[in-house]
Copies of this chain bind each other. A is one copy, B any other.
Amino acid sequence: MNKDPQSATQAIVKWRQLLGDEYVITDHEPLKQASTATFTTSATVIAILKPARDQVAAAVAVAAEYSLPLYTISSGKNWGYGSRVPSTNDSVLLDLGRLNDISGYDPEHHLVTVGAGVTQRQLADFLLAQGGMDWMDCTGSHPDCSIVGNTVERGFGHTPYGEHANFIGAMEVLLADGRIIKTGFGRFDGAKASGMYKWGLGPALDQLFLQSNLGIVLSITLWLMPKPEQFVAFYLSAPNETALEQIVAALVPLKRSGVITSLPHIANAYRVLGGMQQYPWPMFSNHPVQFPLHGDVLSQLKKQWQVGTWNVSGALYGTKEQVANARKQVRRALRTVKGARLNFISDSLLRFIEIFQKPIAFITRMDIPGMLKVLRPVHNMMKGQPSAQFLTSSYWRMKTGPDGRFDMDKDNVGLIWSAFVAPADAKNARQLMDIVDTVLPQFGFEPAVTLTLLNERCIDAVVSISFDRTASAPDGKSWDELALQCRDKLYQAMFSHGFYPYRTDVGKMAEMVHCGDPQYLQVLADLKHALDPQGIFAPGRYIASASEKFTGAVSN
């Protein structure tokens, strides 16, 4: 990369001419913000570009001319994994937020094309406005998060269309030399099945551009889920720690036989409580705080919110008969979970609870309005309606919650997400959880985890390290420092047990691009060399530099 500061200055002049001053940001404050994530990072941003769709290639050409690294963001809300912070120092951020076009909605074949800047909220609203006959799969992240941004990171949601990488019909990709290609059948003029048949003819390229720096994904043609005839959510909470094994053992066969087609989420108490409230600071006004929270206080919160040690949220989708049948089978299977409460909540039951929340609260002596604050968003999310509710759990250790603008980076929220994949069985789920339960408390963090049945064979465990970046940690340490140490120890422990990440934060990139079989790493570098020989795109993101040479044995 070019280290001459002159060239950056010259490039910025060109970008200003190209995009207009308004869309080339070089002021100190926004650049500082863009270099701030929810944990300690080091890379800085020297400019932010906000091109329109037809300016992106020209903006990239300038970067190539001056050999400046470009780091692409869509909405920039990659919270917990690095926000907008680039993988290499002195990067120029390429913000694709203006590529927010929704096009080509095809209700007959259930597809739609979204630009890189289209947010969850935007697509959900669009589909509702079109009659609501197709649902998107959304994640628990913010409604203003980009769909393409999540998909290119191989994010996942909750519905039968939850493993996003599987539901890409086609993509438009900009390459480093300015070429724009359409994947799948998009290569052929007027191909009717374009976007419907995803592989195209010859090698299929889509997956090359996920978790990648080989090209910039400008748009994705998404497969949408036809609104099912019937939808019922189900929730289970179980009191015992060993419920985890029982839940996994009960749900996996249902997933394998297709009774459950969606992605059930299994969350421990810490994870769920984070969505209900913040750390109970007032309860510690007279005692030293607990890091992590445990014992009686934890029990009290669990009781107050009716939260189990383990909690499942899932949903059944299908025809009326399919759902009725699945409901019976889910009930039967989960009966094996000792002491568990299982509830099925349909649209109409939820409405009933909402209408009669006061009397129900009176009778049950439970905080029904408080619960509805979470229940309604979860219910809606599993029907493709995003909500900001879930991310509030990231404010767990903060003294105040998010305000309307919801800017975790600016709010000094501390958050690192680490996501590991385990075989979908009780033994592995337990082994993985034991690691989390051991490592996180050592550093003073609550071991908050969600395990998702990603498909019939895998569990994806997302571990949250939550903290307040402005607070001081015990013994004069910094939470920022503890969080990175904890994350590193967690990775190490996971690796030594054979659990690897499906996705990684920007701070772990440098290590991960050198992790694994050197022959494999070399192939990635070869591909980088073929498609981006100058290394303009996000250097060091998921792929090491094209010029590196890998030799020797597997290193992890």
Q: Which residues of chain A from 425 to 465 have any CB-CB distance to chain B below 8 Å in the complex?
A: 425, 428, 454, 456-458
Known: A257-B228, A257-B229, A530-B530. A109 touches B423 (CB 8 A): yes
Complex Cα distance A379/B228, Å?
A: 30
CB-CB contacts of A175-193 with B at 8 A, as 1s and 0s? 1000111100111111111
Q: Is the CB of A179 within 8 A of B522?
A: yes
**Which chain B residues border A189 with CB–CB below 8 Å?**
516-517, 554, 556
Contact pick for A257, options B318, B503, B520, CB 8 Å: B318
Q: Is the CB of B457 within 8 A of A498?
A: no
Complex Cα distance A189/B529, Å?
A: 26
**Which chain B residues border A499 with CB–CB below 8 Å?**
191-193
Is the C-beta of A501 less than 8 angstroms from some C-beta in chain B? yes
* Nearest-Cβ distance from residue A357 to partner chain B, whole angstroms: 33
Contact pick for A458, options B197, B257, B321, B504, CB 8 Å: B197
Complex Cα distance A299/B180, Å?
A: 53
**Which chain B residues border A205 with CB–CB below 8 Å?**
207-208, 523
Is the C-beta of A203 less than 8 angstroms from some C-beta in chain B? yes
Q: Is the CB of B530 within 8 A of A193?
A: no
Q: Which residue of B lies closest to A208 (CB)?
A: B203
Q: Is the CB of B517 within 8 A of A182?
A: yes
Complex Cα distance A416/B497, Å?
A: 51
Q: Is the CB of B516 within 8 A of A526?
A: no
Q: Is the CB of A456 within 8 A of B110?
A: yes
**Which chain B residues border A500 with CB–CB below 8 Å?**
185, 188, 191, 193, 201
Q: Is the CB of A542 within 8 A of B258?
A: no
Is the C-beta of A329 less than 8 angstroms from some C-beta in chain B? yes
Complex Cα distance A212/B200, Å?
A: 12
Interface footprint category on A: 35 or more
Known: A179-B519, A524-B203. A421 touches B185 (CB 8 A): yes
* Copies of this chain, count: 2
Complex Cα distance A319/B325, Å?
A: 10
Q: Which residue of B lies closest to A215 (CB)?
A: B523
Q: Which residue of B lies closest to A525 (CB)?
A: B530
Q: Which residue of B lies closest to A321 (CB)?
A: B325
Known: A203-B524, A517-B187. A258 touches B258 (CB 8 A): yes
Known: A208-B208, A531-B523. A517 touches B256 (CB 8 A): no
**Which chain B residues border A524 with CB–CB below 8 Å?**
202-203
Complex Cα distance A206/B257, Å?
A: 26
Is the C-beta of A209 less than 8 angstroms from some C-beta in chain B? yes
Complex Cα distance A166/B455, Å?
A: 12
Q: Which residues of chain A from 201 to 252 have any CB-CB distance to chain B below 8 Å in the complex?
A: 201-212, 214, 223, 226, 228-229
* Nearest-Cβ distance from residue A286 to partner chain B, whole angstroms: 46
* Nearest-Cβ distance from residue A13 to partner chain B, whole angstroms: 29
Q: Is the CB of A423 within 8 A of B193?
A: yes
From A187, A212, A228, A261, residue with most partner B Cβ within 10 Å: A187
Q: Is the CB of B108 within 8 A of A425?
A: yes
Is the C-beta of A527 less than 8 angstroms from some C-beta in chain B? yes
Q: Is the CB of A257 within 8 A of B109?
A: no
Is the C-beta of A536 less than 8 angstroms from some C-beta in chain B? no
Q: Is the CB of A207 within 8 A of B204?
A: yes
Known: A179-B522, A193-B422. A259 touches B202 (CB 8 A): no
Is the C-beta of A23 less than 8 angstroms from some C-beta in chain B? no
Contact pick for A258, options B111, B318, B454, B513, CB 8 Å: B318
**Which chain B residues border A371 with CB–CB below 8 Å?**
none
Complex Cα distance A321/B317, Å?
A: 16
**Which chain B residues border A482 with CB–CB below 8 Å?**
none
Q: Is the CB of A201 within 8 A of B256?
A: no
Is the C-beta of A305 less than 8 angstroms from some C-beta in chain B? no
Given contact pairs A196-B421, A228-B257, a sample of 9 additional A-B residue pairs in the complex whose CB atoms are under 8 Å apart: A165-B204, A192-B422, A192-B428, A202-B542, A203-B542, A205-B208, A257-B322, A258-B322, A523-B531
| A/B interface sample: 22 pairs, CB < 8 A | A154-B199, A175-B523, A182-B520, A185-B500, A187-B521, A188-B495, A188-B516, A190-B498, A193-B457, A199-B207, A201-B501, A201-B516, A203-B527, A204-B207, A204-B211, A205-B208, A226-B257, A257-B318, A258-B261, A321-B328, A322-B325, A527-B527
Query: Which 5 A/B pairs are nearest by Cβ-Cβ distance?
Result: A530-B530, A187-B516, A204-B207, A196-B457, A192-B498
